[in-house]
Structure 1
Amino acid sequence: MSTAYCDLRCLRGHFLYLYLGLLLLLIPGEAYEKLSEDTLKALPRPSQDFDIHTGALFSPILQPRVPGTPGHTAVLEHFATFFRTTLPEWQIDFQNSTSKTPVSHGKDVPFVNFIAYRDPPGTAKGDVGRLTLVAHYDSKLEPEGFIGAIDSAAPCAMIMHAMRSIDSALDKKWAAMEAEGMDLLDEHHGIQVLFLDGEEAFKEWTSTDSLYGARSLAEHWETQMNPAMSTFKTPLSSISLFVLLDLLGAKSPNIQSYYPTTHWAYQSLGALEKRLRSLGHLKSTSTDPWFIDTSKDSHQVMAFGGIQDDHLPFLARGVEILHLIDFAPFKGFPSVWHTADDDAEHLDMDTVKDWSVLMTAFAAEWMELDGFLDHGDKVRREEDLDESEAIRLNKKTEL
């Protein structure tokens, strides 16, 4: 993660796109259907498998994950195992690339992007637009032994929890649609997870020493064509909203809104935080709302700024971006950023778990799952995970 901001050369190409897109996004924002109070109360909170030492979901990510190292491979295997065993209806893919780095002495370093998605049954993937939740999973080379708990092990775990929490509600929704005689081919909402590789610079943040996986995937998806007559020409154009989570897990985060075309979605997250907190479903203590720009309208959101991160190669190709990163005006990033203190012990676990619930709520609202996620859902609360499930989640499998 770099503190540098996009320069005008990066943003001139986006200016017209942003403001034309603003007009188009006013309608989705107004039509956005809110989750009921009962559904919000039903959202499961993380518990045992978020334990930083023994938790089956979270603890395997909390290790150094430098590309090309055993720890990196182990975490990638953990993602694959989680989706294959816990979310078997999801499709899994890997996008591979190699690149030389400033410290690789002329040798190619492998980078692997992890992709998982779920579309309505019977639909062709070129006909489905996907909410896309994104985090990078690699960690910095230095300082030695760097864990990167907020950067970005915790965001990966938050996304995994959210997907597990809504999965059976997707089953219920789509089964109900079929029972009512509705054609699932008309259901154009899918969901996708990207765990991107190589976000961190190996030496010093530059346009070439950073974002290795994001640059490769965005370029690949821009040129990969879906079948003729598909609704979406490329996998890139099928991204309905690219939601990037980064540097999350410290107490009392400050989340700004960076793009006017997605400000309505930012405001929806702010509204969900407020509602969940009023219901007592968020446990962290925070004197101020996390989403500090909710009172602004889209015209007040500056389109010229934006912290350099994995979204940039996608933004440059016209993808709608919602960037969720903890960055406080006049204070900057969390104090542990890029230091040895960015480890599990310095996480605020109530905040980590609250983010997990909030992202579950956002995904459920986007996928129109109100009424399909209840206390009788087959998604069990994590405090009820039994030993056999923990063993299965921790088991390593070949990619």
Structure 2
Amino acid sequence: MRVHHLLLLPAILRSAVLAYTPLSESTIQGLPSPGKDFDIKDGALLSPILIPRVPGTPGSEQVLQHFVDFFSDTLPDWKLSFQNSSSTTPVSNGKEVPFRNLIATRDPPWVEREGEVGRLVLVAHYDSKLTPKDFIGATDSAAPCAMLMHAARSIDNALTQKWDDMAGDALDELEDQKGIQIILLDGEEAFSSWTDTDSIYGARALAEEWENTYHPPLSTFSTPLASMDLFVLLDLLGSPPQRVPSYYKTSHWAYLNMADLESRLRKMGSFKSSPNHKSKRFSNEPRKKEPMFLYEADKKDTDRWTGGYIGDDHVPFIARGVEVLHIIPSPFPDVWHHPDDDGEHLDPDIVEDWALLTVTFAAEWMDLEGYLDDGKKDRRSAEVLKDELNGEMT
């Protein structure tokens, strides 16, 4: 079956075909921690984003350069590209404001042309609101951007290991043509008040351009939009409350995958924000009920699905048929669009927990069990054992 036929299948069938091996507990425990990289004062990933970054301002350019430097210096195998646009805004007095989207892509090395790879797409916006003055937007969405940077770095070596091991093998048409893409969008925030034309400037421009950008004839995927197996949008993460419903019935299968991961991580004691984490209770205390981020794993088809009620960067993509998993709390965090949405009001444990959940979701999607740090140790041990056995037989 060709992938472009797969995209026409119901979501439940697509999720069954896009199979992967769940991460083992030992693999999860061996995943890299962000360490001090999320420190709000001098963390290498997060702190450079915690500045005002209104589109078209020096702060925006500075943060964009931070992303470019990170990928160029740390993850050189990721292909960087930009999608640029400009638009007037209600407050620009007729002047065009520039919007620059950054796209970082990692595809299997044997892929020779565009249009042959389906991708997991992880998305956040990096701009901040014009008002209130000097607004930072730590949850909205500096912290989600840092989470995506950490996720890319955490799985990069494993992708290399997996694809190196696969070189020369017979490739499965569906499972082995998977790539990953991170999109950092500009211009999500309204300059005056949210309308269809004063919001999501970068997302609207990118979706329109990619809808009309065609891959070579006979490609598996006709456009960059068709290449998106799942569009995962992170927004307003890092400060309470953090309860994320399942917004869309068509992507509930992906929500269930992430919710299952969260449940496993909580049972393992890996979530630092959990009241049951070892740092928050004595060993002889009874366990408390876990406050799940993704709390609608038992949602039924007949329940209320509220995907159309929240305007965000996913809107122009889902309108064009892209499958979307929207990770945004409802209700919004208490600091939403308030001057207190700054680094000091982030909950470091919540930020780390969302980062871990994002890493594990991406790693499972890319089927990296056995290729992360713990897995590499296992493979080396197996190779040593094989050599020893061969030596005994000669």
TM-score range normalised by the length of the shorter chain: 0.7 to 0.9
**AA of the residue aligned to 2:156:** D
Q: Shift in Å at residue 281 of structure 1?
A: 1.6
**1:79-228 correspondence runs (5 A):** 79-123=67-111, 124-178=113-167, 181-183=169-171, 187-228=176-217
Which aligned pairs between 1:344-363 and structure 2 lie closer than 5 A?
344-363=343-362
Which residue does 1:305 correspond to in 2? 308
Q: For residues 185 and 60 of structure 1, what CA distance do their matches in structure 2 show?
A: 41
Deviates more, 1:271-280 or 1:61-70: 271-280
Tell me which amino acid in the other structure corresponds to 1:169: A
Alignment check: 8 A CA contact 1:150 1:246 kept: yes
C-alpha change, 1:89 and 1:184, in structure 2 (3 Å) is: farther
Displacement of 1:374 after TM fit?
2.1
- CA shift for structure 1 position 251: 3.3
Partner of 1:130, secondary structure, is strand
Evaluate the alpha carbon distance shift between residue 276 and residue 303 of structure 1 in structure 2; reply closer, same or farther with a 3 A threshold.
Answer: same
Whether 1:295 and 2:304 are equivalent positions in the alignment is no
Separation of aligned partners in 1, 2:274 and 2:262: 13
Residue identity in the other structure for 1:342 = D
Aligned to 1:24: 10
> How far does residue 304 in structure 1 lie from its aligned partner after superposition?
6.0
Q: Does 1:340 align with 2:315?
A: no
Secondary structure of the corresponding residue to residue 126 of structure 1: coil
Unaligned runs of 5+ in 1: 1-19, 379-399
Change (3 A) 1:139 1:317: same
Larger RCO, structures 1/2 (Cα 8 Å, 6+ apart): 1
Match of 1:36 among 12, 24, 33: 24
Q: Match of 1:326? A: 329
Take 1:304 and 1:166, find their aligned partners in 2: how far apart are those partners?
30
Q: Is the 8 A contact 1:260 1:301 kept in 2?
A: no
Distance 1:293 1:21, change over 3 A: farther
Cα distance in 2 between the residues matched to 1:90 and 1:242:
18
1:382 matched to which residue of 2? none
- Could you tell me the TM-score, scaled by structure 2's length? 0.86
The alpha-carbon distance between structure 1 residues 301 and 170, as it changes in their structure 2 partners (threshold 3 A), is farther
TM-score by length of 1: 0.85
User: The residue matched to 2:351 in structure 1 has which SS?
Assistant: helix
Kindly report the root-mean-square deviation, in angstroms, between the aligned alpha carbons of the 2 structures. Answer: 2.0
Deviations 1:342-368 (A, max 9, x none): 000000011101111110000001001
1:182-232 Cα offsets, whole Å, 9 max, x none, are 348772100000000100000010000001000000000000111111111
Helix, strand or coil at the partner of 1:363: helix
Structure-1 separation of matches of 2:245 and 2:13: 22
Within a 5 Å distance, the mapping from 1:239-318 to structure 2 comes to: 239-285=228-274, 287-298=290-301, 300=303, 302=305, 305-318=308-321
Paired residue total = 354
Q: Give me the whole-angstrom Cα distance separating, in 2, the residues matched to 1:375 and 1:49.
A: 22
Percent identity for Structure 1 against Structure 2? 57
- By how many angstroms is 1:260 displaced? 1.0
Which of these two proteins has the greater Rg computed from alpha carbons? 2
Q: How far does residue 53 in structure 1 lie from its aligned partner after superposition?
A: 0.5
